[in-house]
Structure formats: structure tokens, C-alpha cells
Structure 1
């Protein structure tokens, strides 16, 4: 496991009121408070993203195809309020916490550039949820970021079917979201395609496949043979061709010492439901919303 490679604008440089920054991203939030977010904050993000995906998948029948920390957006007001919980600001500051009227988060259009600048001091955690914080998905068709592939550009977050060059559908979003959430929860990549590539003489795709097998188990034959790359890495019976040693590990094992012990079981179980090798067996976007992992997340956050 290694820290994710993305580099974001440093917190002391980023300005939520810059007219060019209509919304902030979760990537920007990580730049401020660290790659590992508090678990309750990751749950808020997961809840809103799953709701957005459920609407996209079921109402429009489309996959997002480009999930990452950069396309999960939060309004500048919410960004400032969240950062205020983690940043120490001069106690003599004359600026104040936004009032509840300033914390309405139903915008669906860019925030006006003439909005007043407010620098918020550290506030008690009880002020964090005066009104719901809403995280929104930026959809590929309205994103300015160039896309090199119709599905996730984040190399280590690609689902097995992407590596196998098999057909991809809405379930690919679920796999990628599980990888995004793992990074937010732990500050590390779940899968690093470049891990031991030089030491073992592996390609990034081969390293990626081995790590998937270590975490999710052996590929079912129908999955291994589902894409044009299947015969490249798998025998006819579905076993992998690569002659290398790999070490099975459970999500519980991986999460051990990375999150609170009381959260490990539910977190591992929810992620496991999203990381099924067979796309049709992965949880639908609406399914995890009823998972016990969300039992302590209410509508006010």
C-alpha cells in the first residue's frame, strides 16, 4: 500500500472565493486536512455520491465512468466550514462562522463570483451540521478535464473488466467508488499497479491483477475469459498464468490499524460488497445506503 500519487494545490494557496473556483473538490479538501479524512466525513461523502450514482444509474441508465476525488464537489461555503474544523485560525480574527442562512446547499449552478469572502475560525464540532453538507458529482460531459478513456482514468481504480478489456457497465462505477472511499478512509491506495513491478519484472497490469486476486480471491473462469485480454493472463481453467507468489489478505486485515477497531467489520463488509469480481454481483448504488456502516450518519450529517 502506498500514498496516492495525485498532487493538489496546497491549502495555503487555494482560495475558495476565487471566481475561477466555482466549486471545490474532495481532492482540494484532502490537500487541506490530509489524504486521510475523518471516517464520519468519508461517510457523508459516500452517502451523497451513492445517491447521485443511484439517480444516474437507474434514471438515466448511464455510468459515470470517471469517478475520482476530483469530481466529487462541495460548495465553497461548505469547504470553508469543513476546513474550519481542522485548521487553527488566529483567535483574534474578526471574521465569523457562516450563519445557517449562508449554509444552504441546494445550488445546482456555479456560485456567483461576487460572493462575500468569509474566513472562518475553528469552531466546535457541534457547529459542523447546522444544515446538511452536500457533496455533488461532476459528470464527465460537463467536466473540463480531458478524458483519455470512457471509464475511470485513475489507473489503480480500474475494475477487473477494464484490465481484461471486457464490456463495462454501471457496476464499474461501484468498483471505482470503493477504491475512492478506501483512499479517503485510509489515505492510501487500495491497489498500486506499480507495486514491485521492477523487483518482480511485472507490468503494471500484471501487478494490478495480482493485487486484485490477493484482496478478492481467484478470478472465476467466466470473468477471466470475459475480455480479449483474458487469454493473455489466464489459462483456460481461469487460473493465472503468471508464475509469481501472492499472498491473500482480507479487507479486515488491511483496515487493521488504519481505522478504529469498532468500524473495521462494517467498513470491510461494505467495501467487499462493492468489490465483487463478477460485475453483476456488485452492490447496486442504492444497496450500500442501507448498510449498517451508515447507521450513525443522519440527514444533518
Structure 2
């Protein structure tokens, strides 16, 4: 069953599919052009949903197909997180069925953000599925910049922004435990990445609404400039402003006993019903999917192997820049993959239709230009470090034996043959994870 959304409906008699209608907004929020029939629901702070039960007070985040809000449950006097899905994809995915199943499965509440309620909401852009969850803290992607060594310092070139080693390992362990839980119940996450790993919160239900409510203040960076159409006409499909996400940072528990849960099951699927096009980020996709389109049960595990490197070093293992052409994206991904992990086996390499742009018939790299060597240019050879060399270059504060265990684990997971990749449970019993259990049992 495919999790890909259906085509965006055209706004008949109003605008062409490829025509922009709004003045550009450069604030860090969702794309304003996605407010149209079939797209996002226009939300204004203070809006109420589900017959007055949920009052929106803060923007927590947004994704390609949804926005997420902190809301006050006025009936039960507590805070919740409300995910409002684009109307064009309110039903086609497995998300709600999987969330219902996991909410009834013992152990689910420990590893997966809990579904509390669901309902449909009619808006100017269509009928939107709304999913109500327990409120959570920032993602693993964003929380690292809120830690004391980095907060307020921005992306300085000399600053290595990454989690402390003990914390990165704890994030990896807990996210892996969540994967074990999902896989044991026949479910693959499909979008396993730091943006879908959330920190839990200390209790916020005693906090007054005024303390958590987002201000409608453009100068302070809480909302965007006004949404304005290029033709000057009023617009009934978009909100008057966009909210800039304000994750709940200060109530987040990131002390020694912090907790992580997996969220966003929008790309999840039952293992025996894999999608034709998973939504796994490009840099975390398996080589067999990139080259042959095959989706198998090891996609989450491959992603995890890449993330072991990324969370410990603060750098992606297979950095995949964006290019307008998907072929160029795949080529760069595969080229870096072979540099980091070694040559592709023949059964995969034969499917790389543009490999001759980069390799000689003897499989020797001679060029790193995308799409071939430009006319008049000499082939350019770049020396790329292997995975082990790149790991060592990150200069982690660990001894050689610890580093050896980590690199061995990454190698064990990122095997080109999917049948030789370990299961999530097998990875959890790897010596690198087991040593902590032995240490804790003896203390």
C-alpha cells in the first residue's frame, strides 16, 4: 500500500498549479503557497476545534503534509499536541490505523507518542484529519542547539554542534528500543530520522495558559509578516499570518534520565505491505531502493546505522545535497556511499545507469562532476575519507577501544546485502550497547 499523497487538486478558475499567488515570506515556517484547497488548514492562534474542545495556543512545528500545535483541552483541563493534516491526504495513509493499534499494544506508551483523540475538521481547504497526542518537547534535530554549550551561538564554523557522547548514545538506545517494539509488531517506521525523535516533557498541565501561549508578535519573531497576495485581493484559503514554530524547550527534561519517543507515523507501514515510494530522507535510503526501487524490512535499520554516525559526530554520514534533478541527487548519494563504505557489489552496480559519468569501466573513480565532465574541463578527483576515517576526524572524546566498537557496529549494520543486516533486536544486543548494561548492573 503506497503512502504517497494523491496529486494536489487545481484551484479551478483561480490559479494554475505552477503559479505563485503570494508575496514571498522568508520566515522559517511552512510554504505559504501550500494554503489552497487540498493543502494546509489556515490556523490562527486562539482557534478552537472539535466543537470547542481544543483551543490552539502555540505552534510546535510543521512538516511537508501537516502542521502541529499546542492546544488546551478545555474539557479535560490539560494540554495536548494537535496535528492537522493537509486535506488531500487525510485518509490515504496507514497512520491512524497504526496509531490505534500501537495505543492498544502493551509497551506502546513508552516508545511512541500516544494518540489521545482523532476527528475531522471542515475548513476552507477541505476536510482535514486532526490527530491529538500527548504534548512533547523538541525534536532531536533541534534540541541540540538549545543545550547550554550552544544556545544563542548560532552555526559558527568553529563550533562542533553535537550532543555529549553519553546523551547521543542514550538517544540511539531509546530510539532503537522503539524500533524493536515497532518491528516486533510488524510495523516499519519508514521515516526514521532525528526530526521524528522527540524529548518528553516535565508535567506542564499546571502551567497557566498565558505562560505557554505564543505571542502574535512579528518583531519578536513569533509570527511571519502578513500574508499578502500579489494581486492585492483578499484570500480565503490562507491565514493572515504564519506562525513560527516554538517548541517547548524549557519544560523539556534533558537531564541524565531523559526520555525519547518516536513520533510521526505518517510514513509508517505494515512490513508485509511495503509502500512503492517510502518517504525516508534521501541520505538515509538503502542502496537497493535508490538503484532498484526495492523496499524491504531493513530500511529502518539502514537509517539507524547512518544515524549512529550522525548523532555521535554531529555530521551526516552520507550528506546528500539538493539538486533539481533526482538523478543528480542519487548519483551524489551513491558516489559518497562508495567512498565511505566501499564499492557496490555487481548486482547493484549494474543498475547504476549513470555510473560511467564517474567511474571507468574498471570501476576506478575519475570524476566528481555531476552529470559528467563539463566541456573544456579536466576530470576532478576528490579524496573522500572512509566511514572509519571520517569518524576519527570528528575527534570524539572516547578511547580507541570505544571508537572501534562504534565503527564495527556501523559496518555491521550498513551491509550492502540486506539479508546480512542485523535486526533491530540484534543491534540492541551489540557489545556497544551491552557494555552499558554490564556497567549499570555492576554499579
TM tier relative to shorter chain: 0.5 to 0.7
Q: Distance in 2 between matches of 1:241 and 1:115?
A: 64
1:26 to 137, 140, 148: 140
TM-score, structure 1 length as denominator?
Answer: 0.64
User: 1:136 deviation in Å?
Assistant: 1.4
2:196 to 50, 71, 92: 71
Residue of structure 1 in register with 2:122 after alignment: none
1:208 to 315, 333, 357: 333
**Would the alpha carbon gap of residues 250 and 232 (structure 1) be closer, same or farther in structure 2, given more than 3 Å must change?**
closer
User: 1:151 deviation in Å?
Assistant: 2.4
Paired residues of 2:414 and 2:421 also in contact (CA < 8 A): yes
Paired residues of 1:213 and 1:248 also in contact (CA < 8 A): no
RMSD in angstroms over aligned alpha carbons?
4.1
**Would the alpha carbon gap of residues 115 and 28 (structure 1) be closer, same or farther in structure 2, given more than 3 Å must change?**
farther
2:192 matched to 1:192?
A: no
The runs of 5 or more residues in structure 2 that have no matched partner are: 1-27, 30-57, 62-68, 72-79, 82-134, 151-160, 212-248, 269-274, 368-380
2:221 matched to 1:221?
A: no
2:170 matched to 1:44?
A: yes
1:46-83: per-residue Cα shift (whole Å, max 9, x none)?
112212212222321x3211111111122122xxxxxx
Paired residues of 1:233 and 1:241 also in contact (CA < 8 A): no
More helix per residue: 1
**Would the alpha carbon gap of residues 48 and 220 (structure 1) be closer, same or farther in structure 2, given more than 3 Å must change?**
same
User: 1:260 deviation in Å?
Assistant: 2.3
Q: Distance in 2 between matches of 1:142 and 1:75?
A: 22
Number of residue pairs aligned between Structure 1 and Structure 2: 238
User: Greater relative contact order: 1 or 2 (C-alpha under 8 angstroms, separation 6 or more)?
Assistant: 1
**Would the alpha carbon gap of residues 152 and 280 (structure 1) be closer, same or farther in structure 2, given more than 3 Å must change?**
farther
The runs of 5 or more residues in structure 1 that have no matched partner are: 1-6, 78-101, 103-112
1:273-292: per-residue Cα shift (whole Å, max 9, x none)?
12111111112101121222
| Larger Rg belongs to | 2
Superposed, 1:115-264 pairs within 5 Å as: 115-116=206-207, 128-129=256-257, 133-141=258-266, 150-194=277-321, 203-225=328-350, 229-233=351-355, 243-244=366-367, 245=381, 247=383, 249-258=385-394, 259-262=396-399, 263-264=402-403
Residue of structure 1 in register with 2:109 after alignment: none
Partner SS, residue 336 of structure 2: helix
Residue of structure 2 in register with 1:94 after alignment: none
TM-score, structure 2 length as denominator?
Answer: 0.45
Paired residues of 2:309 and 2:391 also in contact (CA < 8 A): no
User: 1:28 deviation in Å?
Assistant: 2.9
More strand per residue: 2
Residue of structure 1 in register with 2:417 after alignment: 278
Q: Distance in 2 between matches of 1:192 and 1:142?
A: 22
